Amino acid sequence: MAPTTPDLRARAARRQARKRTLPRSRAPREITVDPALRDFYAEDPRRTHSGERDFGLRWRDLDESTYRAAWIADTGELYTVRHGKPSEASRVTVLARLDADRLERALDGWHEVVDSGEPGTYEWLRARARAAA
């Protein structure tokens, strides 16, 4: 027998009550921001307050370096951060400035590419971004 509407409402109310009574962490969470990324965001205040879409953490170039890729909505910037030591220069690269629609078309299938873990996925990302820009 399917639950009736009053039963469903009662269940939803109980779930809401449990959510309100869950204990909260007392210690503030410490967030470490990569210095190169912090400097990149400081260059344009729109980056700090914009929504951002993640495009994967393990893009690999032919030399085996790895990168994180993301897109900033307010600036339209598709950027990458090369993993490595924080003291290394030129770790943040803007690959292209694209609106959301062009970005979606350009990076169609990106999940499969980055998830492959193969060397050269970063070059795929760069070529797609360059062609769409």
| Residue at 128 is within a domain | yes
Indicate whether 44 belongs to any domain.
Answer: yes
pLDDT for 15-70, tens place per residue?
655 555 444 444 444 445 677 888 898 999 999 999 999 999 999 999 989 999 99
pLDDT tens, 83-126? Answer: 887 666 668 999 999 999 999 999 999 999 999 999 999 999 99
Number of folded domains that form the chain:
1
Q: What does the alpha-carbon distance between residue 125 and residue 27 come to, in Å, rounded to a whole number?
A: 39
Closest by Cα among 69, 80, 72, 82 to 111: 69
CA dihedral 121, 65, 129, 127 (to 10 degrees): -60
- Asked if residue 69 is part of any domain, the answer here is yes
Residue range(s) defining the domain that contains residue 91:
35-132
Residue 2 inside a domain? The answer is: no
What is the spatial distance between Cα 106 and Cα 58, in angstroms, rounded to a whole number?
19
88 within some domain? yes
